[in-house]
Amino acid sequence: MSRLSDANRRLGLYKEGIKRAREASEIFEQLGETVGQVKCLIDLAEALHDDGQLDAAEETACRAIDLLPEKGEQLWVYHGYRVLGDIYNPKDETEKAIHHLEVSLGIAASLNLDSGLFWSHFSLAKVFLKDGRFDDAHAHVEHAKSHAVNDTYLLARASELQAWFWKDQHRFEGAKSEALRALDMYEKLGAANDAEDVRQLLGKIDDELEEMDDR
C-alpha cells in the first residue's frame, strides 16, 4: 500500500495517495512494525503536503520522527527532516525550513547518500530562491547537479530548477535552454506531469520575454 500511495502522489492523485498511506500506516501500527509505520507516515506527510494540507503534513512528519529510536534508522530520520523542511517552506517558516533541511543534508552526507544529498540541496535551493537569496540558491543548485550525474530524472529536476533560477534573474535565454533540456528528459522518461509543469514554465518565460519586447 505504501508503494501505491507514492505512485498515486506522483500521478497527482493526492487524495488516493493520502488514503493508501493512512491505511498502510494503520496496518503496520497494528503489527508493531515501527519502521514500516514510519515509512508510511512519511509518504502520508508528502501526500498531505502536495495536497496543500500543510498543518496535517507537519503533524504527521513530526509523529514519524518521534517514533524512531534515538540511535539507528538514520535513513528515515533523514527523510523525516527533509520532508519537514519541504513543509515549512510553503508555510513561510523559512528559518525552520533551512534548519531541518540542513539537518537532513548532514545525515545524507554521513550516509554517503547521493540521492539524499541531491534532494536536500534541491530543497534548500528552493527555499533560498523563494527568499530572494540568489547566491545561496545558485550554490545549492550547483551542489544538487553534482549529485545527479547518474540519474536522468534528477538531472531533469535540476535543469528545471535552474530554469526557474535563471527566470527569476531575468536571464530568459538561459532559462529557456534549461527548461527545454528538462522537458526533453521528462518526455523520454514518460514523466507526463513533470513535462506539463515545464511546459507551463516555458509559457511563463515566453510571456515575460514578450513583455520585455513590448517595452
Q: pLDDT category, 12, cuts 50, 70, 90?
A: low
pTM over cut 0.85:
yes
Torsional sign, CA 142, 203, 127, 104: negative
Res 113: pLDDT: 94
Res 63: pLDDT: 96
Looking at residues 180-206, what average pLDDT do you find? Answer: 94
Instruction: Specify the amino acid at residue 126.
Output: K
Calpha distance 44→20 (Å, rounded): 8
Res 121: pLDDT: 97
DSSP alpha helices (H): ranges in the chain?
Answer: 2-10, 14-31, 34-50, 54-67, 74-88, 94-110, 114-130, 134-146, 152-168, 172-189, 192-214
Nearest to 143 by CA among 201, 101, 194, 198: 101
Res 10: pLDDT: 55
Cα of 199 vs its chain's centroid, Å: 19
Angle between helix 152-168 and 114-130 (nearest 10): 20
Calpha distance 5→119 (Å, rounded): 20
Looking at residues 184-189, what average pLDDT do you find? Answer: 94
How many CA atoms, within 13 angstroms, populate the side-chain half-sphere of residue 71? 0
Res 4: pLDDT: 45
Choose from 34-38, 191-195, 209-213 the range with maximum mean pLDDT.
34-38
Q: In the predicted model, what is the mean pLDDT of the chain?
A: 90
Q: pLDDT category, 1, cuts 50, 70, 90?
A: very low
* Digit-coded pLDDT (tens) for 133-162: 999 999 999 999 999 988 999 999 999 999
Residue count of the chain: 215
- For residue 11, pLDDT over 60 is answered with no
* Digit-coded pLDDT (tens) for 87-99: 999 999 999 999 9
Cα of 88 vs its chain's centroid, Å: 12
**Coil, strand or helix at 194:** helix
Per DSSP, the residues of 15-70 read HHHHHHHHHHHHHHHHHT-HHHHHHHHHHHHHHHHHTT-HHHHHHHHHHHHHHS-S
Q: pLDDT category, 2, cuts 50, 70, 90?
A: very low
* Distant-in-sequence, close-in-space partners of 63: CB < 8 Å, separation ≥ 6: 41
* Digit-coded pLDDT (tens) for 73-120: 899 999 999 999 999 999 999 999 999 999 999 999 999 999 999 999
* % of the chain residues with pLDDT over 90: 77
Place of cell 515549512: 88
- For residue 9, pLDDT over 60 is answered with no
* % of the chain residues with pLDDT over 70: 93
Q: pLDDT category, 16, cuts 50, 70, 90?
A: confident
Calpha distance 64→186 (Å, rounded): 32
